[in-house]
Amino acid sequence: MSSYMASLSSSFTNFRSASSWFEVYAAFSTLMIILRTAVNDIVPEKLRSSIARKLESFFFPTHKPNNLVSIRINQRWDGQHGEHNELYNAASKYLPTRISETYKALRLAKLNSHKGLMLAIDANQEVIDEFEGIRYTWTLDLGSDQNADSSKSDKDPAFVLNFNEKHRDTVMKRYIPHLLATCEAMDAADMSIKIFSMAHGYWNESELCHPATLDTLALDPELKRTIVDDLDRFLKRKEFYKKVGKPWKRGYLLYGPPGTGKSSLIAAIANYLKFNVYDLELDSITSNESLMLLMRSTTSRSIIVIEDIDCNKEVHVRRRQQEDFGDTDIESVQHDDAAPEIIKVDKFTLSALLNYMDGLWSGYGEERIIIFTTNHKDKIDPALLRPGRMDMHIHLSFLRAKAFRILASNYLDIPGDQPHPLFQEIEDLLDTTDVTPAVVAEQLIRSEDPDVALDGLFKFLQEIHNSGKSRDSAETLEI
């Protein structure tokens, strides 16, 4: 370094000839190359960029680049009541992976609904991403309801992407697809299954931790094989559904007494297919519009569950409302010499649900399963039962001999090929006594000793059989 400085100094003292000027230029260029190499090797790129921005703001405080383009990615399209924006979800998953140890403002949480730590960017933090040599800047805008003049989209949380306008085509054709593809790869690598419940008109996400599998369910082996074959056939028939002009979806009705394993079967199907689950509570839906918004917010490769469809008042209100009042919403009825009686008539109708199942909206999304559950199949509106809506009706009945051995293996580790001496007597009682798998499981779980547990179950079944109890009272009999 000193030799270059000496050469540069001597050149300035003798610069009358053209060669002297060339020596000055050569020495100065060499010095700049050495300095630039040293800075690039020693100073991190993010620190260099930060210094450059601060110097620019110091010397040019009023300078604002006019070649920057901003793209706002709102959480919901068309305001707070619009459809959920999948690009927003993808950005929320992608950006935390671009956070390095140099960032100073982050959000960290450990939620009961998730197994690991949750990391997210802070609203005041810029996230720098590079793709194909191009620099992109991301910020999170949480939105605000305080500004009355702001538009609906400004009040909604959003990610803001800034980049040079000359890279517009690269952003739309390569960078955004890269972001979505990266998010899909992250979802594929994450083997956890999500369950979504309703909260204030939106879906609230948690991890499905239910351990049920099709192997451990106490079902008749033939029925279980039928269910598995139907699921496998459904997954393989994308082109078939397209060829015949039908949406790629499947409807199931699970019916039977309480305690026969309807919820466990749903969890087992989700674990088998690796599908997310949406628990749709019709009692919480107040209009057809809110129903369609929730349905449009569900994803492909998912299971939509509507439990106890026979007990849901919204499913029955359509028939009662049409018979009594036609299609008019009645808010109050004036009786003679009495104060008006306020009647709340929900605007959600069965026809909206049917329209989503096999109407014009049935093609929204693909590879979906809709599962209804009921304790009383005969109480369901016949309009729901026809093929195309509930394609397969699965009867989950009381526990019988074939399914009992699965329970015994699960709870007592008794191999199926090495039956216990009490098995035959217990199975004979099960074939003539109506008890649910939940009741038998409760008896088996009372002792870890197979002899003690099976003896207790045998006496329990004998008492039910001898007393001639009905199937409902058998479930609540206390021993």
Can you tell me the distance from the alpha carbon of 5 to that of 434, in angstroms, rounded to the nearest whole number?
A: 100
pTM over 0.75: no
Can you tell me the distance from the alpha carbon of 356 to that of 347, in angstroms, rounded to the nearest whole number?
A: 16
The confidence score (pLDDT) of residue 110 equals 67
Provide the 10 A C-beta neighbour count for residue 370.
23
- Above pLDDT 70, what percent of the chain? 72
Model pLDDT for residues 420-462, shown as the tens digit of each residue: 899 999 999 998 888 999 999 999 999 999 999 999 999 999 9
The confidence score (pLDDT) of residue 291 equals 82
pLDDT, average across residues 21-41: 77
pLDDT category at 102 given cuts 50, 70, 90 is low
Q: Is residue 170's pLDDT more than 70?
A: yes
pLDDT category at 58 given cuts 50, 70, 90 is low
Q: Is residue 288's pLDDT more than 70?
A: yes
Cβ atoms of 275 and 299 within 8 Å: the answer is: no
pLDDT category at 100 given cuts 50, 70, 90 is low
Can you tell me the distance from the alpha carbon of 287 to that of 271, in angstroms, rounded to the nearest whole number?
A: 32
The confidence score (pLDDT) of residue 472 equals 45
Q: Which is nearest to 283 in space by CA: 245, 313, 241, 255?
A: 313
- For residue 333, give Cα distances in angstroms to 114, 312, 329, 344: 49, 24, 11, 11
By mean pLDDT, which of 180-184, 337-341, 384-388, 437-441 is the weakest?
A: 337-341
3-state secondary structure the chain: CHHHHHHHHHHHHCCCCHHHHHHHHHHHHHHHHHHHHHHHHHCCHHHHHHHHHHHHHHHCCCCCCCCEEEEEEECECCCCCCCECHHHHHHHHHHHHHCCCCCCCEEEEECCCCCCEEEEECCCCCEEEEECCEEEEEEEECCCCCCCCCCHHHHCCEEEEEEEHHHHHHHHHHHHHHHHHHHHHHHHHCCCCEEEEEECCEEEEEECCCCCCCCCCCCCHHHHHHHHHHHHHHHCCHHHHHHHCCCCEEEEEEECCCCCCHHHHHHHHHHHHCCEEEECCHHHCCCHHHHHHHHHCCCCCEEEEECCHHHCHHHHHHHHHHHHHCCCCCCEECCCCCCCEECCCCCCCHHHHHHHHHCHHHHCCCCEEEEEEECCHHHCCHHHHCCCCCCEEEECCCCCHHHHHHHHHHHHCCCCCCCCCCHHHHHHHHCCCCCCHHHHHHHHCCCCCHHHHHHHHHHHHHHHHHHCCCHHHHCCCCC
The confidence score (pLDDT) of residue 382 equals 82
pLDDT category at 319 given cuts 50, 70, 90 is very low
Can you tell me the distance from the alpha carbon of 140 to that of 125, in angstroms, rounded to the nearest whole number?
A: 8
Q: Is residue 38's pLDDT more than 80?
A: no
Model pLDDT for residues 225-241, shown as the tens digit of each residue: 999 999 999 999 999 98
Cβ atoms of 214 and 274 within 8 Å: the answer is: no
pLDDT category at 16 given cuts 50, 70, 90 is low
Strands 332-333 and 341-342: antiparallel
Can you tell me the distance from the alpha carbon of 168 to that of 182, in angstroms, rounded to the nearest whole number?
A: 20
Q: Cα 44 to the chain's mean position, in Å?
A: 39
Q: Is residue 336's pLDDT more than 50?
A: no
Cβ atoms of 257 and 398 within 8 Å: the answer is: yes
Cβ atoms of 259 and 475 within 8 Å: the answer is: yes
- What is the torsional sign of CA 308, 314, 315, 320? positive
pLDDT category at 341 given cuts 50, 70, 90 is very low
The CA-based dihedral angle spanning residues 361, 363, 368, 371, taken in that order and rounded to the nearest 10 degrees: 40
Q: Is residue 379's pLDDT more than 60?
A: yes
- What is the torsional sign of CA 284, 287, 293, 298? positive
pLDDT category at 383 given cuts 50, 70, 90 is confident
Cβ atoms of 382 and 317 within 8 Å: the answer is: no
Tokens of 393: 């009706």
The overall average pLDDT reported for the chain is: 78
pLDDT, average across residues 57-73: 71
Q: Is residue 339's pLDDT more than 50?
A: no
Q: Is residue 35's pLDDT more than 60?
A: yes
pLDDT category at 335 given cuts 50, 70, 90 is very low
pLDDT, average across residues 95-118: 68
The confidence score (pLDDT) of residue 29 equals 80
Comparison of pLDDT for 359 and 355, the residue scoring more: 355
pLDDT category at 296 given cuts 50, 70, 90 is confident
Q: Is residue 403's pLDDT more than 50?
A: yes
Cβ atoms of 310 and 379 within 8 Å: the answer is: yes
By mean pLDDT, which of 1-5, 16-20, 254-258, 287-291 is the weakest?
A: 1-5
The confidence score (pLDDT) of residue 224 equals 94
**What would you report as the CA-atom Rg of the chain, rounded to the nearest whole angstrom?**
34
Q: Which is nearest to 371 in space by CA: 288, 432, 308?
A: 308
pLDDT category at 361 given cuts 50, 70, 90 is low
By mean pLDDT, which of 24-38, 86-100, 304-318 is the weakest?
A: 304-318
